[in-house]
């Protein structure tokens, strides 16, 4: 069964080979869609693009950490009482629905050019799944266990730390996985207006009609999202392996 | 049967009356005045052509849209034509609006810069489209030094808010807007530093140009007549364009149309025409700047017979 891990590579390799073939045969003009080899060449020779990846990674990480902490805290806060949830949850939904592209230029006015804008954009795009997942996780705590804690006169804090949060952990980790992909998208959008990073490279390369470089930057951005996802998957496995059904077998 | 013949007739007639789209790379502004006038006054219809002007916006990839056959005609700049050709897309320019490039940098007069060289020694913030050939040219010529380069968003909001802010501009447009909002802009033309490509060029696919010589001839004549008329009397056309782009006041429209006159037709030149020496010069400049990978034969990039 171990060999199945490599199955996803088959469509990738076939897809790239087909694309290279079509571009070589000039069935697709390379100014509209670059050949995989052109993108590979850019990745091998363009130092700027790797420096940009470093910047984007840093900013996406910082924004994502902010999302993890703030999202988990806000989700827990909302779960603490129905009143608070009713009062503030609609505003949390606002973050989910806000069209980031439309407000991105305003972020520059509020936070200035560069890193602060990129981190803010990352946070806005990625925080909602984290809040919603934390809230749902805590809300779905087994009623019998809650009754048991009450029977033993556990304090509110004890109930939260020893029952509700552990119970919510799988849900919180799922939220974090969704947020991680969004964080990279948020960082790139932030860089379109704030400057720098892979977003800056895409912007610059479009102005020079360098689709190969655009695709190289997009490939790295997608790779970054994949790394985020893989790290969180690993973390889930470590945190949940001893007790949760999702990580058994 | 009648229904079918009616349908056939209908399809045929719509095919004949089909619009010829001209994609702009920006919103309706005086830089497109002559095209709008030609359309409004029916100069196109007189030659049996129905122009349909399609406004654009920031980042509109007109060159790629042309190359991919999404629009038959589009407004780009000469350097975009040369870059597209270098990447394998057969684009050809047929008409140039500006004989001298109005691309420049707008700074605050209070900063007292005397030249671009002077500006690039400062610690200003410069909003400019990175990668744009004019930007690459200035970076190579002057070096950015302590100047902080940030993305260009369009508009003049950042300029108005910050005295240390400078931005790319068309000297025929943004400085007028900034003045209206109380700023004192001082502009420097990039052309004066030695980079002066034709800007606002009508381009089409080479195949389209070669297959339709009569249509191209007609189009160039329509554009020339439209621009000649707009240079004389722009007010009525500006009113219509202002309706399409109310973000700019009619007053600024009219001022801009006045300011751009010498850029459209410097003394002794013919509207819309292009010269080989100039095309070859900025083709060579693009090659030097490594924006194109091989030396370009400029004579293939534009139609010179007009």
Question: Residue B34: its pLDDT value, please?
Answer: 97
In a domain, A39, yes or no: no
Query: Among candidates B302, B305, B306, which has minimal Cα distance to B278?
Result: B302
Nearest to B151 among A203, A205, A208 (CB): A203
List residues bridging with B178 in a β-sheet.
none
Residues of B within 8 A of A200 (CB-CB) are 130, 151
pLDDT of residue A1: 52
CB atoms within 10 A of CB A47: 7
Answer yes or no: do B131 and A203 touch at CB < 8 A: yes
pLDDT band at B11 (very low <50, low <70, confident <90, very high): very low
Please check whether residue A13 touches B, CB under 8 A: no
Please indicate whether, in this complex, the C-beta atoms of B153 and A105 are within 8 angstroms of each other: yes
B131: nearest CA partner in chain A:
A204
What is the token pair recorded at B11?
A: 């399809």
pTM of the model: 0.83
Cross-chain Cβ contact B157/A195 below 8 Å? no
**What's the confidence (pLDDT) of residue B18?**
66
Return d(Cα A229, Cα B298) in angstroms, integer. Answer: 49
In a domain, B306, yes or no: no
Q: Which A-chain residues 38-97 have CB contacts (< 8 A) with chain B?
A: none
Answer with the one of B170, B193, B216 that is the final residue of a domain.
B193
How close does chain B come to A195, measured CA to CA in Å?
6
Total domains, chain B: 2
Specify the 3-state DSSP secondary structure of A213: helix
Asked whether residue B305 is assigned to any structural domain, the reply reads no
Determine the residue of chain A that is closest to B150 in CA distance. A195
Kindly tell me if the per-residue pLDDT of B14 is higher than 50. no
Neighbouring residues of A39: CB distance < 8 A, sequence distance ≥ 6: A212, A215, A216, A219
Q: Are residues B166 and B239 in the same domain?
A: no
For residue B87, what is the nearest residue in chain A, using CA coordinates? A31
Reported confidence tier of residue B12, pLDDT bands at 50, 70, 90: very low
**Using CA atoms, how far apart are residues B110 and B128, in angstroms rounded to an integer?**
21
Looking at the DSSP bridge assignments, the partners of residue B160 are: none
- A109-126 pLDDT tens trace: 899 999 999 999 999 999
B277 pLDDT more than 70: yes
* CATH for A166: 1.10.3720.10
- Final residue of a structural domain among B173, B193, B213: B193
- Could you tell me if B112 and B251 lie in one domain? no
Tell if the CB–CB gap between A31 and B67 is shorter than 8 Å.
Answer: yes
Residues of A in contact with B153 (CB under 8 A): 105, 108, 193
**Mean model confidence pLDDT for chain B:** 91
Which of B130, B164, B193 lies at the terminal end of a domain, its last residue? B193
Claim to verify: residue B202 and residue B85 sit in the same structural domain: yes
Do residues B39 and B53 make contact, with C-beta atoms less than 8 angstroms apart? Answer: yes
Indicate the pLDDT class of residue B283, thresholds 50, 70 and 90. very high
Cβ contact B68–A32 (<8 Å):
yes
Environment class of B123 (CB within 10 Å of its CB; exposed 0-12, middle 13-18, buried 19+): exposed
The segments of chain A whose pLDDT lies below 50 read none
**Domain-embedded: residue B144:** yes
Tokens, residue A63: 């924004």
Residue with tokens 């052109």: A38
**DSSP letter (8 states) at residue A85:** H
* Beta-carbon contacts of residue B164 (< 8 Å; ≥ 6 apart): B108, B111, B123, B124, B125
Query: Do B208 and B229 belong to one domain?
Result: yes
CB contact under 8 A, A203 and B83: no
**Average pLDDT of the segment spanning B129-153:** 93
Q: What is the pLDDT of residue B16?
A: 45
Q: Answer whether residue B7 shows pLDDT above 70.
A: no
Q: Is residue A46 a part of any domain in this protein?
A: no
For residue A108, the chain B residue with the least C-alpha distance is B158
Q: In whole angstroms, what is the distance from residue B230 CA to residue A68 CA? A: 59
Q: For Cα atoms B211, B212, B215, give the angle at the middle one, nearest 5 degrees.
A: 175
Residue of A nearest to B86 (CA): A31
Q: How confident is the model at residue B8 (pLDDT cuts 50, 70, 90)?
A: very low
Instruction: Please give the backbone phi and psi of residue B275, each rounded to the nearest 5 degrees, phi first.
Output: -110, 145
Radius of gyration of chain A (CA): 22
> Cα separation of B36 and B25, whole Å?
14
Residues of B in contact with A32 (CB under 8 A): 64, 67-68
User: In this structure, is residue B32 part of a structural domain?
Assistant: yes
- Residues above pLDDT 90, as percent of chain A: 67
Cβ atoms within 10 A of the Cβ of B154, count? 16
Q: Do B151 and A30 touch (CB under 8 A)?
A: no
Q: What percent of chain B has pLDDT over 70?
A: 94
Total of domains in chain A? 1
Phi, psi of B155 (to 5 degrees): 75, 180
The average pLDDT across B87-108 equals 95
Put simply, the answer to whether A208 touches B131 (Cβ < 8 Å) is yes
> How large is the average pLDDT for residues B93-109?
96
- Tell me if A8 is assigned to some domain: no
Strand partners of residue B126: B149, B166
Band of pLDDT at residue B20, cut at 50, 70 and 90: very high
Q: Quick check: is B175 in a domain? A: yes
B133 and B53, same structural domain? no
Domain span at B122: 103-193
In a 3-state reduction of DSSP, which class is residue B29? coil
Name residue, tokens 């108005």: B160
Give me the pLDDT at residue B155, please: 84
Residues spanned by the domain of A229: 57-247
Report the pLDDT value the prediction gives residue B273, as an integer from 0 to 100: 93
Which of B131, B150, B151 faces A205 most closely, judged by CB atoms? Answer: B131
Chain A residues whose CB is inside 8 A of the B157 CB are 109
Evaluate whether B176 touches B256 at the Cβ level (below 8 Å): yes
Q: Is residue B18 part of a domain?
A: yes
Q: Strand B199-205 relative to strand B73-76: parallel, antiparallel, unpaired?
A: antiparallel
* A173 to A77, A128, A166, B166, B250: CA distances (angstroms): 18, 13, 11, 45, 56
Residue B177 sits in a domain whose CATH number is 3.40.190.10
- Chain A, nearest residue to B133 by Cα: A208
Residues B39 and B148 in one domain: no
Structure tokens at B16: 């004949």
Q: What is the pLDDT of residues B212-262, one digit of tens each?
A: 999 999 999 999 999 999 999 999 999 999 999 998 899 999 999 999 999
Mean pLDDT of B152-170: 92
């Amino acid at each position: 069964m171990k060999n199945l891990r490599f199955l996803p590579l088959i469509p990738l390799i076939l897809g790239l080979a087909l694309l290279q073939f079509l571009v070589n045969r000039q069935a697709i003009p390379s100014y509209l869609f670059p050949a995989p080899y052109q993108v590979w060449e850019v990745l091998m020779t363009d130092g700027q693009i790797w420096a940009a990846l470093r910047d984007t990674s840093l900013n996406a990480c910082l924004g994502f950490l902010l999302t993890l902490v703030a999202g988990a805290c806000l989700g827990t806060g909302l779960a603490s009482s129905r009143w608070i949830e009713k009062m503030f949850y609609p505003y949390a939904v606002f973050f989910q629905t806000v069209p980031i592209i439309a407000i991105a230029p305003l972020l520059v006015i509020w936070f200035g050019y560069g890193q602060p804008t990129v981190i803010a954009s990352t946070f806005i795009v990625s925080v909602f799944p984290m809040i919603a997942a934390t809230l749902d996780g805590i809300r779905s705590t087994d009623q019998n266990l809650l009754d048991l804690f009450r029977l033993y006169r556990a304090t509110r804090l004890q109930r939260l730390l020893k029952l509700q949060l552990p119970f919510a952990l799988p849900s919180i980790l799922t939220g974090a996985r969704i947020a991680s992909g969004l964080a990279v998208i948020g960082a790139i959008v932030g860089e379109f207006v704030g400057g720098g990073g892979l977003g800056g490279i895409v912007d610059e390369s479009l102005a020079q009609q360098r689709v190969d470089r655009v695709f190289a930057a997009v490939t790295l951005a997608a790779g970054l999202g994949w790394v985020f996802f893989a790290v969180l998957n690993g973390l889930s496995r470590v945190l949940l392996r001893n007790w949760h059904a999702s990580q058994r077998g | 049967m009648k229904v079918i013949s009616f349908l056939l007739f209908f399809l045929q007639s719509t095919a004949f009356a089909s619009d010829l789209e001209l994609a702009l790379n920006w919103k309706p502004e005086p830089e497109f005045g002559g095209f709008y006038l030609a359309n409004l006054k029916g100069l196109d219809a007189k030659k049996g052509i129905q122009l349909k002007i399609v406004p654009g916006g920031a980042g509109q990839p007109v060159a790629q849209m042309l190359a991919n056959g999404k629009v038959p005609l589009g407004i780009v700049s000469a350097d975009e034509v040369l870059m597209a050709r270098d990447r394998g897309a057969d684009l050809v320019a047929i008409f140039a609006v500006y004989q001298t490039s109005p691309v420049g940098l707008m700074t605050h007069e209070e900063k007292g810069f005397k030249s671009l060289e002077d500006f690039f020694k400062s610690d200003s913030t410069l909003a400019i489209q990175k990668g744009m050939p004019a930007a690459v040219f200035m970076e190579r010529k002057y070096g950015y030094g302590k100047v902080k380069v940030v993305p260009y968003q369009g508009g003049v909001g950042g300029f108005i808010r910050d005295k240390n802010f400078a931005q790319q501009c068309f000297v025929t447009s943004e400085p007028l807007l900034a003045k209206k909002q109380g700023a004192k802009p001082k502009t420097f033309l990039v052309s004066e530093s030695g980079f002066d490509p034709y800007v606002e060029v009508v381009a089409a696919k080479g195949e389209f140009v070669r297959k339709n010589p009569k249509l191209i001839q007609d189009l160039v004549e329509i554009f020339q007549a439209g621009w000649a008329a707009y240079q004389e009397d722009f007010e009525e056309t500006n009113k219509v364009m202002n309706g399409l782009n109310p973000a700019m006041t009619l007053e600024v429209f009219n001022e801009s149309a006045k300011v751009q006159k010498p850029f459209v037709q410097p003394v002794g030149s013919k509207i819309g025409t292009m010269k080989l020496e100039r095309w070859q010069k900025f083709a060579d400049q693009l090659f030097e700047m490594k924006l194109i990978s091989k030396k370009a034969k400029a004579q293939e990039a534009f139609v010179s017979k007009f």
